[in-house]
Chain A
Amino acid sequence: MLAYIAHYLVMVGIYTILATSLNLLVGYSGIFSLAHAAIYGIGAYASALAALQLGLGFWGGLLVAAVVGALAAALVAIPSLRVAGDYYIVASFGLQVVILTVFINWTSLTNGHAGLPGIPRPRVFGLVVDDPFKYVVLSLALAALTYLICRRLTASAFGRALRAVREDEIAAAATGKNVVAVKITITTISSALGALAGSLYAHYITYINPTSFSLDESIFITSLVILGGTERLAGPLVGSLILLAVPEALKFLAIPDTVAAPMRQILYGALLIVFMFVRPEGILGRARPRRAA
């Protein structure tokens, strides 16, 4: 039972990192990305391959993951963010599809559907993190680090510029902000952090395959962000705590697997719709007065 709770907490930590980093985009910058699962996957594969093929340790893997994730996002962001945000939705959608295709089809690198087994456990400060409880500490520590990084970003002049760009980018440009540079910067950071989560995941489960990084996963991460609220940094944590408990609840109701998967998706879909009506800022968000249509 305890090991089970430990597993839940590790996943909460990982998803908090994913949701916090996505929130930087969706919540703070008003940039919607559907590619976060692909970024998550890039981090996982980059880190796994760094360990398996290059013998890099955990920290090395984290670094590789962050860099590759950042590059992939920048590649897409640079052309698309120069024009309107809707272009980025399409571009991110496409990125998600393409990256998944790469995971599945570049079999010489990724082993395709068979996936990559045998990913080594991390060595942190000389200790091998090989049991769930140690992993809880690692996972929550990295989640806390992500939180602090995001806090620093959003509480600074950069964060102020970000909010200004989100609320009215024309006014921001007139006031001297390089709108495109700001957007590309935040997209890159968001992806670097999302890829970090992938690295954490890969070394925890020790086996990865493409199905964990599909569009469905992007939708799930989006649901976490929406549920928890985009205004507060603690929102993603709350969202993760709640939504990760749902599959377990469904298991208690003894619903067959073939129906359970689409049912979860229906839940996430319904959640997105309902929250847009009732509380677009999410559970933790400050209820703000609606903007006149």
Chain B
Amino acid sequence: MGAPIMTVQGVSKAFGGIQAVEACTFEVTPRLITGLIGPNGAGKTTVFNLITGFLRADGGSIRFKGEELLGMAPHEVEARGVVRTFQHLRLWGKMTVLENVLLGCRTPLGESVVSLFLRPARVREEEATARRRALEVLEFFGLAGRAHELAEDLAYPEQKLLSMARIFATDAEVLLLDEPTSGLDTDSLQRIVPMVRRLVEHGKTVLLIEHNMELIAQLSDEVVFLHQGRVMARGRAEQITRDPALTEIYFGV
């Protein structure tokens, strides 16, 4: 399997009186899909928030390729190569599909006011390169035909794909997908599920939050089972999803 690309060690987070995540420890193996599952309120999205710097952990450590991520701001975590999608997508509805993906591409010169005025030629070049890349990404996700439509006008399954396309464009190595299949019917699922596999084939590492046990069994190589903020079990997908005690926790509560 190789050394883990990311290790979460003893991470905890409390809100008011509620301990959302406690002594959370697991590893993410590179170039695999790791599923993060557990009943509602288990703390899964909180873990995503902690990894990507949207929340400050109370304690513990999150190491990515040897570097400590805790304490970094979200954009710094992204720069290191870890990105996430949102359960509620958070697309920029009033902007076009292409713009949504362009925002994921690297355009440091175009975003620097100094460069904007002093190096117009380089900026133009960079923008052209970014556009090409953005269109490639859209092709990859099957959205090229929609490039100039507003993101809010897309059908829901396509919006889900767009949210993945956006983070794919960032070239980040580790993609955290928050419920990429929620709210989709069986037909639409067939568009999303293969895409997640293709991401790994492309060299990415995926950590995904998912509710559907079957999908988890189908998609994940490894699984981390969270319950009331603690890691209940880790291991190969087949083991975890067939474990009756865990299934009871999952459906019982």
State if A and B touch, Cβ cutoff 8 Å: yes
The interface of chain A, by Cβ under 8 A from chain B, is: 149, 152-153, 156-158, 160-161, 163-164, 167-168, 170-179, 182, 185, 189, 288
| Chain B residue with the shortest CB-CB distance to A189 | B113
Docked pose: A52 CA to B26 CA in angstroms: 68
Q: A163-B92, A171-B90, A178-B75 are in contact. Are A156 and B110 (CB under 8 A)?
A: yes
State whether the Cβ of B223 lies closer than 8 Å to any Cβ in chain A: no
- B116 and A176 within 8 A (CB): no
- B167 and A175 within 8 A (CB): yes
- A175 and B113 within 8 A (CB): no
| Residues of B close to A171: CB separation below 8 A | 86, 90-92
Docked pose: A167 CA to B107 CA in angstroms: 19
| Residues of A close to B92: CB separation below 8 A | 163-164, 167-168, 171
The interface of chain B, by Cβ under 8 A from chain A, is: 52, 54, 73-75, 78-79, 83-84, 86, 90-95, 99, 102-104, 107, 109-113, 116-117, 123, 126-127, 130, 166-167, 170
- B170 and A157 within 8 A (CB): no
- B113 and A176 within 8 A (CB): no
- A173 and B74 within 8 A (CB): yes
Q: A168-B92, A172-B103, A174-B52 are in contact. Are A157 and B127 (CB under 8 A)?
A: yes
| Chain B residue with the shortest CB-CB distance to A182 | B111
Docked pose: A158 CA to B108 CA in angstroms: 9
| Residues of B close to A182: CB separation below 8 A | 111
| Among A158, A164, A177, A178, contact of B113 (Cβ-Cβ < 8 Å) | A158
Other A-B pairs beyond A163-B92, A175-B167, 17, CB < 8 Å = A156-B116, A157-B109, A157-B110, A158-B113, A160-B103, A163-B95, A164-B92, A164-B103, A170-B54, A170-B86, A170-B90, A174-B54, A174-B90, A175-B104, A175-B166, A176-B79, A176-B83
Docked pose: A164 CA to B127 CA in angstroms: 17
| Chain A residue with the shortest CB-CB distance to B104 | A175
Docked pose: A172 CA to B90 CA in angstroms: 9
Min Cβ gap A150→B in Å is: 12
Q: A168-B92, A170-B90 are in contact. Are A157 and B75 (CB under 8 A)?
A: no
| Residues of A close to B130: CB separation below 8 A | 157
- B110 and A173 within 8 A (CB): no
| Chain B residue with the shortest CB-CB distance to A157 | B110
| Among A156, A167, A170, A288, contact of B95 (Cβ-Cβ < 8 Å) | A167
Min Cβ gap B180→A in Å is: 15
- B94 and A177 within 8 A (CB): no
| Residues of A close to B91: CB separation below 8 A | 171
Chain B CB within 10 Å, residue with most, of A175, A179, A185: A175
Q: A156-B116, A158-B111, A164-B103 are in contact. Are A174 and B86 (CB under 8 A)?
A: yes
| Residues of A close to B86: CB separation below 8 A | 170-171, 174
Docked pose: A210 CA to B180 CA in angstroms: 58
| Chain B residue with the shortest CB-CB distance to A167 | B92
A-B contact pairs, 24 of them (CB 8 A): A153-B116, A158-B110, A158-B113, A160-B95, A160-B103, A160-B110, A161-B111, A163-B94, A167-B94, A167-B95, A168-B92, A170-B86, A170-B90, A171-B91, A174-B52, A174-B83, A174-B167, A175-B103, A176-B79, A176-B83, A176-B170, A179-B75, A185-B113, A288-B94
| Among A157, A170, A172, A189, contact of B107 (Cβ-Cβ < 8 Å) | A157
| Chain A residue with the shortest CB-CB distance to B102 | A160
| Residues of B close to A185: CB separation below 8 A | 113
| Residues of A close to B110: CB separation below 8 A | 156-158, 160
Min Cβ gap A262→B in Å is: 38
| Residues of A close to B111: CB separation below 8 A | 156-158, 161, 177, 182
Chain B CB within 10 Å, residue with most, of A157, A163, A171: A157
Docked pose: A175 CA to B75 CA in angstroms: 7
| Chain B residue with the shortest CB-CB distance to A149 | B117
| Residues of A close to B117: CB separation below 8 A | 149, 152
Question: Which 10 interchain pairs have the tightest Cβ spacing?
Answer: A157-B110, A176-B78, A157-B107, A171-B90, A173-B74, A178-B75, A158-B111, A157-B111, A167-B92, A176-B75
| Residues of A close to B78: CB separation below 8 A | 174-176
| Residues of A close to B109: CB separation below 8 A | 157
| Residues of A close to B75: CB separation below 8 A | 173, 176-179
Docked pose: A178 CA to B112 CA in angstroms: 12
- B83 and A167 within 8 A (CB): no
Min Cβ gap B15→A in Å is: 17
| Chain B residue with the shortest CB-CB distance to A180 | B73
